[in-house]
């Protein structure tokens, strides 16, 4: 303690401003910009998603029409192969129907089935292979036009050449009652029935529906163009959510996520800010502490030296004066001891090395010892002292030295923070399985707003009256630590200008300690 501690600690710069600007510049502004861009972008993306959803639904309906067209072609080819090209060329429908029936097929399916221009049997029919090889005029004849009521497909002869056109038309009953229900039952890919398709006639009568639809709201519709399917309309909706709802849900979810991220970011920033603020506050308190402590060490040492030198040189006029000097030396060294004990304890606590030895302790004895240490000061400063120890208080399990240290700090504060009215009352009471030691003064008191803060390390009251008194801001934080180690607490009741009562609450036994 020979060197002045303040020279060893450099006052820290306030890092708050720098950190705040780093966070605002590096985190907050970029993420706000990103949020802004996302909020602009999300509705656009939602619009595009919606359009894509409608396009996909329309494509599904086109695929269904293609599938159905293929199915009618396959059916017609199957029939054509059975009937044979000569009879098809001949074109008489009753002959053809009879041939179909003989082969065990339904003869009542077509209203027309005949061949134009072919002169040889059909090659093995593959639906995908025919078109590219077809001569243009035949291909043109195959294009469905609103005028045609028949379907047409190329007739590829045994040499692989397109030599004619097979024309056919199915009866509506077959299309409605067999082809369409069969297709939706076996060939329509619809995993989990997520899509609902309705086939309806032009007049609105429902031909087929993959699942019932209460209202008539569908996403997309399609009038069928294939001649055999003409007069029918397809309509599609999704089972659970409409495209609009689905997209809105996605949009809301994404915006909510962006909001949530911003919120978390705000909370994070706030946390960092409050931590930095606390650290900055603590470092300011620490530097105050160093200044206070060095002052507190210097003053008593200077007094002790001055009075000791005066006594040594024999320059004391009377015996009374000499006694007074001895008292001053005694009091100041006591103050030094108390301060050094506090600092040592505090550094042990900070390093996690403070140990407590619990043993049965007589609380009354601790009170007498502390009062004994302060008797001189109490008497000299004219304090009115009251001590009230309830008889029959059993021993508590405590670290007597630490408990004495805690009480000493309270008594020391009661004396330090008293002004004109000098009164000190100590009381020991039992309360259930706890023992309470209270120290009451009629000093300056502690404002409500500070009653929690005064237990923080380095904290010293704001009032100017407090600053007239020397202190390190460690005493009460030590008291609180000691009481917590005992499984107890320190409580305060205080009115500014009237006085304070600090109470140590000590459990009789240390249940949680080994």
Q: List contacts with ligand ADP (CB under 6 A).
A: 409, 413-414, 417, 441, 443-446, 454, 459-461, 466, 471-477, 500
Calculate the dihedral angle through the C-alpha atoms of 447, 450, 455, 459, rounding to the nearest 10 degrees: -110
Q: Quick one: 151 or 296, whose CB is closer to ligand ADP?
A: 296
CB 329 → ligand ADP: shortest distance, Å? 22
Structure tokens at 380: 């000299």
Q: Quick one: 494 or 510, whose CB is closer to ligand ADP?
A: 494
Structural element, H or E, at residue 423: strand 423-431
CB 334 → ligand ADP: shortest distance, Å? 15
Q: Quick one: 125 or 459, whose CB is closer to ligand ADP?
A: 459
Contact in structure between 156 and 138 (CB atoms under 8 Å): no
CB 31 → ligand ADP: shortest distance, Å? 42
Structural element, H or E, at residue 399: none
Q: Quick one: 134 or 472, whose CB is closer to ligand ADP?
A: 472
CB 476 → ligand ADP: shortest distance, Å? 3
Q: Quick one: 374 or 417, whose CB is closer to ligand ADP?
A: 417
CB 410 → ligand ADP: shortest distance, Å? 7
Among 86, 84, 100, which Cα is nearest to 174's? 100
CB 377 → ligand ADP: shortest distance, Å? 15
End-to-end CA distance of the chain: 37
Structure tokens at 419: 């002004």
Q: Quick one: 60 or 405, whose CB is closer to ligand ADP?
A: 405
Q: Quick one: 163 or 500, whose CB is closer to ligand ADP?
A: 500
Structure tokens at 360: 């049965």
Q: Quick one: 165 or 454, whose CB is closer to ligand ADP?
A: 454
CB 411 → ligand ADP: shortest distance, Å? 9
CB 374 → ligand ADP: shortest distance, Å? 14
Q: Quick one: 163 or 292, whose CB is closer to ligand ADP?
A: 292
DSSP assignment, residue 313? T
Structural element, H or E, at residue 163: strand 162-170
Q: Rg of the chain's alpha carbons, rounded to an integer?
A: 50
CB 298 → ligand ADP: shortest distance, Å? 16
Q: Quick one: 85 or 459, whose CB is closer to ligand ADP?
A: 459
Q: Spell out the SS3 assignment of 22-91.
A: HHHHHHHHHHHHHHHHHHHHHHHHHHHHHHHHHHHHHHHHHHHHHHHHHHHHHHHHHHHHHHCHHHHHHC
Listed in sequence order, the residues at least 6 apart from 50 whose beta carbon sits closer than 8 Å to its beta carbon are 243, 244, 247
Q: b/e per residue, 386-417, with b = 16+ CB within 10 A?
A: eeebeeebeebbbbbebbbbbbbbbbbbbbbb
What is the secondary structure of 328-371 as a DSSP string? HHHHHHHHHHHHHHHHHHHHHHHTT------EEE-HHHHHHHHH
CB 458 → ligand ADP: shortest distance, Å? 8
Nearest position to ligand ADP, beta carbon: 461
Structural element, H or E, at residue 250: helix 243-312
């Amino acid at each position: 303690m020979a060197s002045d501690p303040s020279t060893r600690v450099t006052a820290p710069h306030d890092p708050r401003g720098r950190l705040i600007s780093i966070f605002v510049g590096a985190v907050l502004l970029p993420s706000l910009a990103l949020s802004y861009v996302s909020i602009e972008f999300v509705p656009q993306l939602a619009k595009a998603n919606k359009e894509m959803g409608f396009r996909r639904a329309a494509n599904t309906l086109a695929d269904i029409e293609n599938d159905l067209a293929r199915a009618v072609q396959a059916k017609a080819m199957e029939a054509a192969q059975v009937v044979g090209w000569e009879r098809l060329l001949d074109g008489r429908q009753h002959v053809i129907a009879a041939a179909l029936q003989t082969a065990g097929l339904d003869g009542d399916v077509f209203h027309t089935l005949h061949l134009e221009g072919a002169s040889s049997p059909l090659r093995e029919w593959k639906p995908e292979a025919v078109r590219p090889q077809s001569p243009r005029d035949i291909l043109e004849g195959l294009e469905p036009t609103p005028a045609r009521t028949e379907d047409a497909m190329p007739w590829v002869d045994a040499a692989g050449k397109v030599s004619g056109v097979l024309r056919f038309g199915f009866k509506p009953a077959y299309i409605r009652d067999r082809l369409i229900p069969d297709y939706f039952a076996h060939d329509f890919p619809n995993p989990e029935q997520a899509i609902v398709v309705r086939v309806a006639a032009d007049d609105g009568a429902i031909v087929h529906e993959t699942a019932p639809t209460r209202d008539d709201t569908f996403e997309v519709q399609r009038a069928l163009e294939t001649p055999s399917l003409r007069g029918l309309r397809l309509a599609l909706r999704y089972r659970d959510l409409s495209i609009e709802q689905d997209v809105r849900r996605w949009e809301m979810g994404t915006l909510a996520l962006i909001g949530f991220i911003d919120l978390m970011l705000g909370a994070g920033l706030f946390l960092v800010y409050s931590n930095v603020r606390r650290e900055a506050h603590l470092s300011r308190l620490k530097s105050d502490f160093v200044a206070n402590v060095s002052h507190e060490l210097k003053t008593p040492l200077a007094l002790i030296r001055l009075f000791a030198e005066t006594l040594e040189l024999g320059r004391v006029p009377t015996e009374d004066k000499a006694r007074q000097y001895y008292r001053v030396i005694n009091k100041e060294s006591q103050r030094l001891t108390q301060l050094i004990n506090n600092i040592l304890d505090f550094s042990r606590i900070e390093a996690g090395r403070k140990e407590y030895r619990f043993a049965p302790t007589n609380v009354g004895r601790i009170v007498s010892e502390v009062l004994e240490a302060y008797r001189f000061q109490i008497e000299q400063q004219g304090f009115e002292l009251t001590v009230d120890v309830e008889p029959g208080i059993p021993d508590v399990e405590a670290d007597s030295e630490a408990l004495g240290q805690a009480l000493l700090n309270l008594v020391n504060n009661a004396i330090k923070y008293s002004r004109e009215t000098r009164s000190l009352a100590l009381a020991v009471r039992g309360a259930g399985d706890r023992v309470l030691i209270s120290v009451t003064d009629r000093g300056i008191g502690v404002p409500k707003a500070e009653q929690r803060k005064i237990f923080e390390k380095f904290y010293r009251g704001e009032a100017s009256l407090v600053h007239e008194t020397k202190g390190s801001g460690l005493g009460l934080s030590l008291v609180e630590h000691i009481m917590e180690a005992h499984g107890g607490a320190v409580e305060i009741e205080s009115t500014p200008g009237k006085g304070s009562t600090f109470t140590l609450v000590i459990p009789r036994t240390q249940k949680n300690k080994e």
